Structure formats: structure tokens, C-alpha cells
Amino acid sequence: MSTVEIKNLHKSFGPLDVLKGIDFTVEAGQVVCVIGPSGSGKSTLLRCVNLLERPTSGQVFVDGTELTDPDVDIDAVRRRLGMVFQQFNLFQHLTVLRNVTIAQERVLKRGRAEARKIAGETLEKVGLGEKADCFPAQLSGGQQQRVAIARALAMNPSLMLFDEPTSALDPELVGDVLSVMRELARDGMTMLVVTHEMGFAREVADRVVFMDRGAIVEDGPPEQVIAAPRHARTREFLGRVLHPEH
């Protein structure tokens, strides 16, 4: 069964058609990377998958539950999704540990001891076991982003959504975040990742989806979409991303 299934998804903001009939699936355990120019609708697509935006029409299923069903329990669906954005959105006045336990306690109703134990494990997993008692301001951007990943993982998501998780980071901090994501993929996490990191997409993605102007232009394995694109628009985009100096 697919973890995510998107059928003929449309999203408009007033007269602006941002998503013009998107269809694709993410199978359990797969990593799908979404690439495309600025304004092509990538973030809007992810926001429709976690219901931060209501699709105008079409269907989205997560683990077989139709999110677009008006009677769906949105909170129950959201509990299955881990989300990591460009901005880490950590609570600045709380320690790293508390940032990772708070939703476990409030949303999943875990006891404090259990939440701390799980937080310790997920912080260890992202390489920040020894930073539990720090405040976010005492960490680098890359470390803060890894805390945001640990916080999402602590909720035991069946799917992780990433929206340009490394694009706010200094170049030398990108690698550590990508390593954590690579490891998650290796562990079998299902992941939908909007990224400009073509090296990561090429190495880790099972499929790459190229979007332009609200539609999918190309969807296939990275060795096709990135290494041997069939469409002129994909070639042009990749040319700009891979050789920005030209």
C-alpha cells in the first residue's frame, strides 16, 4: 500500500492556479524528492499533504485515509506526519530536551519519563545526545535543524515531509543535516522531500519529481530525471541549478 497517494490535486488562491492537477504516489519506505523552480508550487503541494492548505479539488490519501474527506479527523492524520521546514521553529525559551518532549506529552499523552527516554534516543540518533540541556540559541543552525528532525521523529511518524530543510543553512552545516536524512532513508522511513540538493536527490531518492508552473513535468528514478532528463524544461532547470555561474 502506498503511504501517500495524490490524485488530480488542484489548489488555487483566488484567480491564481498554483497546483493544476497533480498525481503521484509515495510507496512505503520510499524517498521521493520534489524539485523545481521557485514558485512552481512545491511548498503548496507539501502543505496540502499536511492540511496546512485545503486543496481546491482532488484527493490526498495518507496510509489509505482520505485527508480530503470533509469528515476526516485532521489531528489524527497530522499525528502520523513529521514535518521539517526551512525555518526550524524551535521554542527558544525551552531546552532542546523540552522541545522534543513537549508534543509527545501534550499530543500523544506520553508520561514525562517515557517522553524523556524517547527524546534522548532521537537526539542520540541525530548526533545531539550531549546537547539536551542547551537552549536553541546555543546551537548552530544545522544543529537546530537536527533538533527539529529529532522532535518530529519522537512522534513516531509514518511519513516525514521536508521542505527545503537545508536551504537556510550555511554551506558547511548542510552536510550534517543531509547525513541524518540519509540515515533515516536507510532505516526505511517514508520521506517526501522538497530540495535543491541534487547530490542528495541523486544518491538517496527512489524517485525524483520535477514540477514547473503547478504541474509535474517529469517523474522517475534520479538516474533518469537528473542524469538524463527527457524534457527541455527539466534540462534547463537542472542546468541552472547545477551550473549557476553560466
Binding footprint of ligand ATP on the chain (CB under 6 A): 13, 16, 18, 36, 38-44
20: enclosing H helix or E strand: strand 16-27
Nearer to Mg ion, 43 or 99 (CB): 43
195 forms part of the interface with Mg ion (CB under 5 A): no
**Of 43-51, 53-61, 146-154, 221-229, which segment contacts Mg ion by CB under 5 A?**
43-51
Angle at the Cα of 18 from the Cα atoms of 16 and 19, rounded to 5 degrees: 140
Report d(CA 65, CA 176) in Å as an integer: 34
Report d(CA 217, CA 212) in Å as an integer: 7
Report d(CA 238, CA 21) in Å as an integer: 23
44 forms part of the interface with Mg ion (CB under 5 A): no
Q: Is the dihedral of CA 196, 181, 34, 145 positive or negative?
A: negative
Smallest distance from ligand ATP to CB 63, Å: 24
Residue 162 near residue 191 (C-beta atoms within 8 A): yes
Report d(CA 79, CA 116) in Å as an integer: 19
Nearer to ligand ATP, 39 or 199 (CB): 39
Nearer to ligand ATP, 57 or 138 (CB): 57
Smallest distance from ligand ATP to CB 50, Å: 13
Smallest distance from Mg ion to CB 42, Å: 5
Report d(CA 2, CA 24) in Å as an integer: 10
Smallest distance from ligand ATP to CB 185, Å: 22
- The contact mask relative to Mg ion for 2-41 (x = CB under 5 A, - = no) is ----------------------------------------
Selected from 30, 43, 101, 195, the binder of Mg ion by CB under 5 A is: 43
